[in-house]
Every structure is written in C-alpha cells, then in structure tokens.
Amino acid sequence: MNIIEIILSPVIALLMGLFFLGLARKIMARIHWRYGPPIYQPIIDIIRLFSQKAMSHGFIFEMGIILSLAGSFLVILFLPIGIMCPLSTGGGLLVILYVMLLGPLGIALSGGEAANPNTSIGISRKFILALCYEVPLLLIILAVITHYNTISIVEIVNRQSMSGWSFGSLPLLLSGIAYLLILPAILGIRPFEVVGAAQEISSGPSVEYGGKYLAFNTIEHGLNEFIGIALFVNLFLGGGDLFGIFASFVDTVLESILGVIVFLVKMIIVFVIGLFINAVYPRFRIEQAVKYIWVWPTLLAFVGLIIVIIVH
C-alpha cells in the first residue's frame, strides 16, 4: 500500500500541477475573450522542450534545478492527498515547512550561476516576498498547530473530519481568511506576480532556462502551485473529507479514491478563485506587496493566533 502511495502521489501532483497551468491559461484566455490553448498544452510543451537544444551555465546551474524539483516532490510525500500520505510519520508540519525551502533555494542557486542580472533581481524579489508572506503564514500555521495541539498534518486533517473544517470553526476563521489573502503571493500570481514579472524582468529567475531546464522549471512551477493550495486545503478545508459522508466506506479502496477526488475538486475551486483575482488585479511593486502583506494579512493572522491562545 505504502509503495503504491509513494509512486501515486507524486504522479497525481505532477499531473495536477500541469493541469493547473493549462487551466490558468484557458481561464485567463476566456476572461480576455480569447479562445486560448487546450488545457493539455503544458504537457505538449514539456515533451517538446525535452527534445530541444539547451544552454548550460555550469554545474550548479544543472544541480540546482534538479535539487529544487526533488525538494518539491519530497514535500508532496509529506502532504496528505485525501487519505494518502506516504511519509505521514516523518516529522509533521515542521518538516514540511523546512523541506518547502528546497524548491526556491534550488532555483535561486541555479539561477545565480547564470550570471544574468534579471535572474538576480527575480531571486532577490522572491526572497523578499517569501520573507514577507512567511510572517503571516507562520502565524497561521502556529494557530492551527496550537488549536489542534499536534504538529502532525495527518492528525490535523483527521480531527477536521471529526469536528468540522477549520475554516468553519470560529477560532480559526481569521487565520483562514489571512491564508486566502496571502495565497496569491505563495502561488506567485497577480497582484503579487513580482518574481516572474514577464514584462519587467523577462520572467525573472527562469530567464536563462531553455530546453530541458525550462521543462523542469515548468514542472517545478506546477508543483509549487499544487503545494501552496494543498497546504491550504489540508489545514483549512478538511483535506479529502466531505462532511463525513464517506464514513460508510472506511478503510476501503473506494474511500481512498473518493478522498483523492474530493481533495482535487477542492483544490480546483480554490485555484479558480485565485485565477479570478489574478485576472482583475494589476501587479504590485515589491515595496507595495511588502507593505500590504505586513499590514492586513499579518494583523488578521496575529489576532487569529491570539484568539486561539485565549480559547485554549
């Protein structure tokens, strides 16, 4: 069972991540009154990119992108998808928070060696933005940990299927709203699209990638979207639970499959909401992003944490 999960969850994440990228292009096109590419376009692109010529800038340029992708796959092994969680006893949320660093760091190292000023500007922006949204994100995660009194994300999901989703419970409501406010920053979409700003700094960190590097970078981008949303769904929307109506098929294969489907549907809903925000907002400058995140989401998250501490 465990071996199947270890193989299956990265595959689901990979396909889902690429599906997100395709969906994003399609929905954005429709909002712009265009027809848009087919949803499977990113998959075609990646297959094509693997056969194309690429330029390499050196050893770390290659290793960084491999490390980053491996790090992202590693996070997915720790994240419950429905009731699937291959490394559920690995160390919990604390490990997830730390393994999540490998993705951006790998890209940063790889891009750093490319010696392109646009890359460096993009990386600098990425780290500043990450430092910013990490402030509310940590407050939110600590509120959830304190509320459920555990650092195991599987346990947090299980508790929600028993006592209702965190987003619906009063002490965690503010934290949930704060997470929604910083979600665009985590996903790197507008209004926080400062890192990969195509018109300003030629897509930032990925400017030097071509061929297989660009393919890996695209996959990494898709996984990043997957992780950001999956964390939200697990922490606040009860993971693969749908108001406990699967209780009749506990411990069957059917439960796993239904759990995964419900989980993915929740993710798509959250992502589409994010896309709508992406479609209507212009891009912040990095200073504006910092100011915004350090005022409203941080305030909400802080009050949320205080409420949770008082309730317990």
Q: Taking CB under 8 A as the rule, does residue 124 contact other proteins?
A: yes
Q: How many Cα atoms occupy the beta-carbon half-sphere of 108 within 13 Å?
A: 15
CB closer to other proteins, 164 vs 211: 211
Q: Footprint of other proteins on residues 97-116 (CB under 8 A)?
A: 97-99, 101-102, 105, 108-109, 112-116
- Shorter beta-carbon distance to other proteins: residue 256 or 298: 298
- The answer to the question of residue 290 lying near other proteins (CB under 8 A) is yes
Q: From residue 204, give the alpha-carbon distance in Å to each of 60, 208, 212, 288.
A: 18, 9, 18, 18
Kindly state whether residue 305 participates in binding other proteins, applying the rule CB under 8 A.
yes
Which of 16, 114 has the CB closer to other proteins? 114
Using the rule CB under 8 A, is 118 a contact of other proteins? yes
131 in contact with other proteins (CB under 8 A): yes
Cβ pair 244, 250 in contact under 8 A:
no
Q: How far apart are CA 288 and CA 192, in angstroms?
A: 9
Verify binding: residue 269, other proteins, rule CB under 8 A. Answer: no
CA 259, 265, 268, 274 dihedral sign is negative
Question: What secondary structure does DSSP assign to 279-309, as a single string?
Answer: HH--PPPHHHHHHHHHHHHHHHHHHHHHHHH
Q: Is 51 in the site for other proteins (CB under 8 A)?
A: yes
Among 207, 231, 260, 267, binds other proteins (CB under 8 A): 207
Site for other proteins in 147-166 (CB under 8 A): 150-152
Query: How far is it, in rounded angstroms, from Cα 136 to Cα 302?
Result: 7
Q: Which is nearer to other proteins, 158 or 270 (CB)?
A: 158
